[in-house]
Amino acid sequence: MLVDQVFRRFTEVGSRARGIFWLLVLLQFPAVWAGCDDPPARRVSWLRCDKQGADLQGADLREAVLTQVNLSDAKLTGARLSGADLGGAILGRADFSGAVLAGARLVSAKLDQAVFAGANMAGARLERAVLAQANLSNADLSGVQMYQANLAGANLSGANLSRATLAQADLTDARLADANLSGAVLSRAILENAVLSGANLHGAKLDGATLLNVDFTGANLAEATLADARIDGARFTDAKLDSTIWVDRQRCRPGSVGECR
């Protein structure tokens, strides 16, 4: 075989070349070294492994290599995944209720209908992740990176999204009642038909966002920025608009409620 021929040639020039050879093999065929049969453990490597429906409740998978793993329908309630790499992973309908994913990397992961209720995902990276119809209610998503993430129809009620980056994210039909979005960046995000009643959007950036038919009833939009946003059909009943930058780039008067004055 070609690999054997190359190996024989490297053996002629000593152990250093052999080490380089095996490093190249490892890089070329990573799945061979992924240890798919290894038990769950901290820093385990399950690169591209098929773990569909696995029962990993309470498992310690901190700093694990789970890139492109298939964990669809898996049970991960209470699991510890801080610092784990789940980039490109398939996690549809997986249950992460109460799990800890602080600082985890889930870039471009497929998380359709996954459950993260009450999970700690502070500082996680979810750029371009697909979370359509996912349940993230009461989750800690403070400081998360969700640039261009798909959260259409997701349940984020009561979630902590303070200082989160959701620029250009799709939040169509999302439920964000009583969510904390203070200081969040939602520039050019799509929130059509979303529910943000009672949400805290103090200082949030919604410039250029699509806010058609959004329910902001009782929300706190004080010092938020809505410059150039589309607000046709949006409801601001009892919403706090104290010093808010309105769609026309004018600042609302201090004490404005329900209407920018």
CB atoms within 10 A of CB 29: 11
* pTM as predicted: 0.86
Neighbours of 199 (CB within 10 A): 30
pLDDT of residue 8: 55
Which has the closest alpha carbon to 52: 94, 106, 87?
Answer: 94
What digits encode the pLDDT tens for the residues 85-119?
A: 999 999 999 999 999 999 999 999 999 999 999 99
Identify the CA nearest to 192 among candidates 217, 209, 177.
Answer: 209
| Interval 49-71: pLDDT, tens | 999 999 999 999 999 999 999 99
Task: Please give the Cα distance from 250 to 225 (Å, whole number).
Answer: 10
Q: Give residue 103's identity as a one-letter amino acid code.
A: G
Residue 191: which residues within 8 A CB-CB, separation 6 or more? 171, 172, 174, 209, 210, 211, 214
Backbone angles phi, psi at 200, to 5 degrees: -100, 105
CB 183 within 8 A of CB 206: no
Residues present in the chain in total: 261
Per-residue exposure over 235-244, b if at least 16 CB sit within 10 Å of its own CB, e if not: bbeebbbbbb
SS3 readout for the chain = CHHHHHHHHHHCCCHHHHHHHHHHHHHHCHHHHCCCCCCCCCCCECCCCECCCCECCCCECCCCECCCCECCCCECCCCECCCCECCCCECCCCECCCCECCCCECCCCECCCCECCCCECCCCECCCCECCCCECCCCECCCCECCCCECCCCECCCCECCCCECCCCECCCCECCCCECCCCECCCCECCCCECCCCECCCCECCCCECCCCECCCCECCCCECCCCECCCCECCCCECCCCECCCCCECCCCCECCCC
φ/ψ of residue 2, rounded to 5 = -60, -40
At residue 35, the pLDDT reads: 86
- For 121-155, how does the pLDDT look when each residue is reduced to its tens digit (9 = 90+)? 999 999 999 999 999 999 999 999 999 999 999 99
Cβ-contact 161, 144 below 8 angstroms: yes
- The model's pLDDT over 152-174, given as tens digits with 9 standing for 90+, comes to 999 999 999 999 999 999 999 99
User: Are 112 and 93 in contact, with CB atoms under 8 Å apart?
Assistant: yes
Q: What angle do CA 10, 31, 15 make, to 5 degrees?
A: 20
